[in-house]
Amino acid sequence: MNVMNASPRRKELTRLAAQLFVQEGFDRTTVRMLAQEMGIKSGSLFHHFKDKQEILAAVIEEGTQNALGIAKAALQSCPGSAEARLHAMARAHLETLFADRNAHVVALFEWRRLDPAASAHLSHLRDAYEAMWGEVIDDALAEGLIHGDRFLVSRFILGALNWTVRWYDPNGPRTPDDLADELVAMILSR
Amino acid sequence: MNVMNASPRRKELTRLAAQLFVQEGFDRTTVRMLAQEMGIKSGSLFHHFKDKQEILAAVIEEGTQNALGIAKAALQSCPGSAEARLHAMARAHLETLFADRNAHVVALFEWRRLDPAASAHLSHLRDAYEAMWGEVIDDALAEGLIHGDRFLVSRFILGALNWTVRWYDPNGPRTPDDLADELVAMILSR
DNA sequence: GTCTATAGCGGGATAGAC
DNA sequence: GTCTATCCCGCTATAGAC
């Protein structure tokens, strides 16, 4: 069962689960579908995960951790300008949604399906990610690049980014980076 | 069964269904839960609706129609200024999400659960609503109030508004109108 | 670590009386 | 228009062999 481990096998299964959860939604994804995608029978799944909930928790943990890691990397390889950091965060966010793919989408859209215990256990991760955004936005406000309420600006920006999952076509003419840049341009004071 | 009717009874049941769909999500809402909320037994439900899908379609149709109606009313009782119309649309949108309540939220968040036939039948309604937004945004762009790509600006604004469902607390200090005004302020060119 | 087999439950939907 | 009763199905999860 390996409750708290991160064996390569479990990692791989988590990746496949994320894909199905995005396509079908958590509730409509059955353990039989998951097993088939993984090339095993449904009974075997429960050797790796205690129950379906634990699969969701694993996906969401990975998705949030990825987002955190990619955002940190983006900020480090980034000049000091607050405007550049804003761009970097927006690009990183969309990168986790459309390139790294799936797990972060599940974290954002299926969070409510977590049971209270898992939600409590993972909320510090989500909070850490949002805190990074908070800092970047604070700096941008302080420099007068954008204006408005710290909290609301954060929510609106993340909302605009998250909702791209519902309409953006990665095979269309625009890249995720185009989207990120356009969003930042839209809110910059001129 | 009354497939295409809008009897007061059916209207009332649709309203109750919308509430449960928002609280639990469509997939996790059972016909037994719906029936209990309506004060009848689950078997009786199918006298009013052919199946569970039809309940969803009824909720989404009502939610989109409401949004359309409220937005139209907001624009009509509104001076010609593009900025005022932008405010009016944002306020109207949040009003349907948090005051009128529930049905429009379902339309936005459970659209993918519609079967293809229902989706095709209802998409013209959604398109009409989005077209209203498109016009108001075109005017704002033409007047130089905001800047950016017509399509992307629309998507970003609606995304920011829609995502409020996930974090906004109507019992907190801010009113929906506060949110609408802050969002518009955030994107206005200064 | 995977299999087969199946328990046990709860879901959507139907039939026919009232 | 609502009830009771129930069918049938598919779901999650378990048990034990290999």
Average pLDDT of span B35-40: 98
Assess contact for B90 and B147: CB atoms under 8 A: no
C1' (D2) to CA (A97) span, angstroms: 49
| Minimum-distance residue to D5 (CA–C1') | B43
Lowest mean pLDDT among A6-15, A121-130, A167-176, B148-157: A6-15
Cα separation, B158 vs A162, whole angstroms: 11
- The residue whose two tokens read 């990665």 is A170
Instruction: State the nucleotide closest to A53 in CA–C1' terms.
Output: D12
At residue B104, the 3 state secondary structure works out as helix
Assess contact for A136 and A91: CB atoms under 8 A: no
Residue B3: pLDDT above 60? no
Query: Measured between CA atoms, how close is A108 to chain B, in angstroms?
Result: 10
C1' (C4) to CA (A109) span, angstroms: 36
**Model pLDDT, residue B4:** 58
Average pLDDT of span B14-35: 98
Q: Does domain A51-187 have CATH number 1.20.1300.10?
A: no
**Model pLDDT, residue A81:** 94
For residue B166, what is the DSSP state?
A: G
Residue A2: pLDDT above 80? no
Torsion of CA B50, B54, B59, B61, to 10 degrees: -120
C1' (D2) to CA (B39) span, angstroms: 10
User: Using one digit for the tens of pLDDT, what is the confidence trace for A134-167?
Assistant: 999 999 999 999 999 999 999 999 999 999 999 9
Residue B63 structure tokens: 């939610």
Size of interface A-B (CB pairs under 8 A): 82
**Model pLDDT, residue A59:** 98
**Model pLDDT, residue A4:** 57
Mutate which of B52, B114, B119, B156 to test chain A, going by most A C-beta atoms within 10 A? Answer: B156
Q: What is the largest distance, in Å, between two alpha-carbon atoms of chain B? A: 59
**Model pLDDT, residue A101:** 80
Q: A78 pLDDT band (50/70/90 cuts)?
A: confident
Assess contact for A40 and A17: CB atoms under 8 A: no
Q: What is the DSSP string of A39-83?
A: TS-HHHHHHH-SSHHHHHHHHHHHHHHHHHHHHHHHHHTS-S-HH
At residue B2, the 3 state secondary structure works out as coil
Which bases along strand D come within 7 Å of a protein CB atom?
1-6, 10-16
Element spanning A1, H or E = none
Q: A3 pLDDT band (50/70/90 cuts)?
A: very low
Contact status of B146 with chain A (Cβ, < 8 Å): yes
Element spanning B46, H or E = helix B42-48
User: Using one digit for the tens of pLDDT, what is the confidence trace for B40-64?
Assistant: 999 999 999 999 999 999 999 999 9
Angle at B173 between CA B167 and CA B176, to 5 degrees: 60
- What are the boundaries of each domain within chain B? 51-187
Phi and psi of A114, rounded to 5°?
A: -65, 140
User: Using one digit for the tens of pLDDT, what is the confidence trace for A17-66?
Assistant: 999 999 999 999 999 999 999 999 999 999 999 999 999 999 999 999 99
Of A44, A47, A55, which Cα lies nearest the Cα of A21? Answer: A55
C1' (D13) to CA (A45) span, angstroms: 10
Residue B143: pLDDT above 90? yes
Residue B2: pLDDT above 70? no
User: Using one digit for the tens of pLDDT, what is the confidence trace for A103-127?
Assistant: 999 999 999 999 999 999 999 999 9
Of A20, A11, A166, A163, which Cα lies nearest the Cα of A93? Answer: A163
Residue A25 structure tokens: 């939604």
Given an 8 Å threshold on Cβ–Cβ distance, is B163 in contact with A155?
Answer: yes
Given an 8 Å threshold on Cβ–Cβ distance, is B28 in contact with A28?
Answer: no
Identify which of B156, B174, B185 has the shortest CB distance to residue A148.
B185
Average pLDDT of span A91-97: 98
Cα separation, B150 vs B137, whole angstroms: 7
Q: B89 pLDDT band (50/70/90 cuts)?
A: very high
Q: A7 pLDDT band (50/70/90 cuts)?
A: confident
Q: What integer best gives the mean pLDDT of chain A?
A: 95
Residue B111's closest chain A neighbor by CA?
A166
Lowest mean pLDDT among A7-16, A161-170, B133-142: A7-16
User: Using one digit for the tens of pLDDT, what is the confidence trace for B93-126?
Assistant: 999 999 978 999 999 999 999 999 999 999 999 9
- The pairs formed by B141-147 with CB atoms below 8 angstroms and a separation of 24 or more are B142/B82, B143/B82, B143/B83, B144/B189, B145/B82, B145/B83, B145/B86, B145/B188, B145/B189, B146/A186, B146/B86, B146/B187, B146/B188, B146/B189, B147/A185, B147/A186, B147/A190, B147/B189
Assess contact for A66 and A153: CB atoms under 8 A: no
Inter-axis angle of helices A150-163 and A176-187, to 10 degrees?
Answer: 150
Amino acid in position B181? D
